[in-house]
Amino acid sequence: MQLAVTQQDLWIATPTGRMFVRRWRPIGAHQAASHAPIVLFHDSLGCVELWRDFPEQLAVATGREVIAYDRFGFGRSDPHPGDWSNHFIRDEAERVFPVLLADLELEHFVAFGHSVGGIMAATCAARYPQRCQALITLSALAFVEERTLHGIRYAKAEFGKPGQIERLQKYHGDQAHWVLSAWTDTWLSDSFADWTLESHAPSLACPHLVIHGKQDEYGSLLHPERLARLSSADSQSLILEECRHFPHREVPERILDAVSHFLASQHAVGNAEGSELRC
């Protein structure tokens, strides 16, 4: 019998403004109250709504509470305060995420991020080694390569065509142009060319599941290889042969199965030797 899930929307008041949060709680799952909730970090153009029904499916598959939030400037959260810089990933981990943890009274958590959200999830895991029980990164990048820049240039050109910015305005409203610029201008700038994930998360103490599509238009397989080396605990890699940058939309069943088995195995046996899964 499939678990039922309740959904709750709330806003967290911060000195920067109001931050929008959504929680999915499985009903009747005995482990939901005792296991750390999964916190989702969205991608560069994302928001809570663009996770679509994946968080609810994740709550059902894992029996855990799932929490997603809109970063400032995105979705339904207030506009970004205006001090955006090349340090935006570290700023999120040091200035915003602690507020979320405190307001929701999260003692422990599982960090799950897609694309740049995966980078932020890893940075938060490194910053809170005693509180982050596991990390799942989905299509995350470890450095800036030409494949990354080519993909961003192409996306920027596509959004410049008539009628395309409206796709972002549907989710980000008047902030849509800022959202697009924050992504493309930052990653394409010369000053960001030397960025690496290791500068934010040199090592991880928690188990880590690395998921990457082999056809990802923004990152080669060099990225999951580097990501997998970060953890001193159990590190597993799931490389999807026929998949691009959005595995949770392209093959959601595979992602849900991999994440639920990964978390269950960590709870059952603790740390183990690194392994690689392919499908």
Amino acid at 51: W
Q: What is the token pair recorded at 60?
A: 């059902």
Q: Does residue 279 carry a pLDDT above 90?
A: no
Q: How many CB atoms lie within 10 A of CB 36?
A: 19
Q: Please name which of 204, 66, 194, 182 lies closest in space to residue 123, comparing C-alpha atoms.
A: 204
**Residue 234: its pLDDT value, please?**
87
Question: pLDDT grade, residue 59 (50/70/90)?
Answer: very high
- Residue pLDDT, tens place only, 2-28: 789 999 999 999 988 999 999 999 987
pTM for the whole structure: 0.94
E strand or H helix at 137: strand 132-138
**Residue 2: its pLDDT value, please?**
74
Q: Please name which of 266, 244, 236, 254 lies closest in space to residue 115, comparing C-alpha atoms.
A: 244
Asked whether the CA dihedral 277, 247, 62, 204 is positive or negative, the reply is positive
Average predicted confidence (pLDDT) for the chain: 93
More confident residue, 15 or 249: 249
E strand or H helix at 209: strand 208-213
Q: Does residue 278 carry a pLDDT above 60?
A: no
- Residue pLDDT, tens place only, 235-246: 999 999 999 999
Q: Please name which of 55, 53, 69, 54 lies closest in space to residue 24, comparing C-alpha atoms.
A: 55
**Residue 268: its pLDDT value, please?**
53
Question: pLDDT grade, residue 166 (50/70/90)?
Answer: very high
Question: pLDDT grade, residue 51 (50/70/90)?
Answer: very high
**Residue 81: its pLDDT value, please?**
93
**Domain architecture of the chain: domains with CATH:** 4-269 (3.40.50.1820)
